[in-house]
Amino acid sequence: MGIFAPLQYGVSDRVQLSLHPILLLVLTPHLSARWRVSKAGRVAGAIDVGATWSFLDRVNSDGLRVVDDGACRGCGFPGTVQLTGTVSVEVVKGLMLSAGAGPALDFLNVRPERMLLELHGSALYLVNPDNLLMLHASTYLHPWVGSGTTSRSSLQLMYAHAWGSLHLGAGVAFGEFALALDEGTVRSLPGRPGVTVEHRGNIRKLPVYPLLDLWIRL
């Protein structure tokens, strides 16, 4: 159980469930399940299925918050459902390399909006039983929109240390951390039915940002 990381419960050696308590508090539930499908020597495979939905505000297809019902044509609560497969290989003792991919589908309410393809890869090095280094990269491809379009790309480098059941992780991430200085909105124009006005807002995208988490093995 982590402060920012999800709560993970191992039902068995092959099945793991995850729930994000912090996101529940901000009305954005995230649920996922992992099933280890095979293990042969140093190679293992897993399938993950997950879903995230936000019930904070309704948005339009461009992600702008809807201010009133008159501007709510084609809007809804945003969500994503994802299915991915991952293959992991223990290259040498303590060093694990993983790579995977799978489809994802963005929704507004229950209406599909766009199909994506998620790609990810990671390297985990267990220095000793108390210290771990992790490098993780992920991105979403948009095969049916433009050519080579990507989003939500990130590269994370983290070091974790364990004091018994207490773990502390710190690191740095490279990507696009969106900081909304002025939220984008869409609203209807008074006296003109069917006419909407969009305000794109002011979003600052930070290319580098820190990572910090504290978690406990119960």
Positive or negative: CA dihedral 126, 100, 175, 179:
negative
This prediction has a pTM of: 0.83
Scanning 18-115, the segments in alpha helix (DSSP H) are 21-25
Question: What is the Cα–Cα distance from 179 to 5, expressed in whole angstroms?
Answer: 20
pLDDT (0 to 100) of residue 145: 64
Task: For residue 9, give both structure tokens.
Answer: 């419960």
pLDDT (0 to 100) of residue 168: 94
Question: What is the Cα–Cα distance from 62 to 42, expressed in whole angstroms?
Answer: 44
Of 52, 112, 46, nearest to 82 by C-alpha is 52
Question: Mean pLDDT, consecutive 10-residue segments, the chain of 218 residues?
Answer: 83 91 84 89 93 90 84 86 96 95 93 91 96 96 73 93 94 88 84 78 88 88
Selected from 2.60.120, 1.10.3470, 1.25.40, 2.40.160, the CATH number assigned to the domain covering 7-216 reads 2.40.160
* Domain residue extents for the chain: 7-216
Which DSSP letter does residue 59 get? B
